[in-house]
Structure 1
Amino acid sequence: MHKIEDLKIWQKSMNLTKSVYKICAELPADERFGLISQINRCAISIPSNIAEGAGRNSQKEFTHFLSIVNGLSYELQTQLILSMELELISEEKIKPILKDIIEIQKMNFGLQKSL
């Protein structure tokens, strides 16, 4: 078991989730049950899966949850890029979040390799 508060990837993904929730608050209200819901669920699933994997009994199980995180990070990246291409969010606001997602993807890959 790992102490999640000490995991930098968990800390970074928690900050990412907060940023995503803030940016989603700026999306049109008619997207509340569509894209906003999907983006928020995806974002919160990243630190949640890191935490669940960290709490498991083996490195193999942890690695499995980190592989889920990898897929979620690419899903979130896609949804945010789509939001930008649909002109729902400006590129200026999305770029720092996309940069954070890429950093989390790299951290995740490195953590998986170390396990």
Structure 2
Amino acid sequence: MGHNPHRLQVVQRAFTLSVDVHRMADHCQESMARLSPGMRNQLLRAVNSIALNLAEGAGHQSPAKTAAFCNTAIGSCNEVELQLRLARALDIIAADYDPLVEEVIEVRRMTFGFRKHILAKPPRP
């Protein structure tokens, strides 16, 4: 049974996270380009991947396929978290953006929960 991605809180949170990271990256574009060329592009691709994989996975009828998309989203959460921590360590972003790391962790936690929920449902005949 597929899910409407617009009704899933995890998709909504991932979408908002993506918007927030885009805004942060726009604000820090010059320092990112100077200290870590390519970081901005990779960070934006990874953060977009979270919401996009969750939305795509939600539409699948197969719990296994949905779980596979959740796994990809979890991997992207890991990547975004590490990139944000690296940007902070390099002073590319200020402490003002530390809540973004916490939000990535929360979206990842929610994604684990969604995957667990999907896989716990008995298959339909």
Q: TM-score scaled to structure 2, two decimals?
A: 0.86
Q: Percent identity?
A: 29
TM-aligned CA deviation for residue 111 of structure 1: 1.1
Match of 2:106 in 1: 103
Q: CA deviation at 1:99?
A: 1.0
1:91 CA drift (Å): 1.8
Quote how far apart the aligned CAs of 1:89 are: 0.3
Where structure 2 has 5 or more consecutive residues not aligned to the other structure, the ranges are 119-125
| Per-residue deviation, 1:57 | 2.5
Deviation string 1:66-114 (CA, Å, 9 cap, x unpaired) is 0111110010000011001111101222x11111111111111111111
> Structure 2: how far apart are the matches of 1:99 and 1:25?
20
Runs of at least 4 residues of structure 1 off by over 4 A?
Answer: none
Distance 2:115 2:59 in 1: 15
Paired residue total: 114
So what's the TM-score if we normalise by structure 1? Answer: 0.93
Task: Give RMSD over aligned pairs.
Answer: 1.4
Partner of 1:25, secondary structure, is helix
Q: For the residues of structure 2 that align with 1:90 and 1:9, how far apart are their CA atoms?
A: 26
Letter in 1 for 2:57: G
**Which one has a bigger Cα radius of gyration?**
2
Q: Which residue of 1 aligns with 2:67?
A: 63
Helix, strand or coil at the partner of 2:27: coil
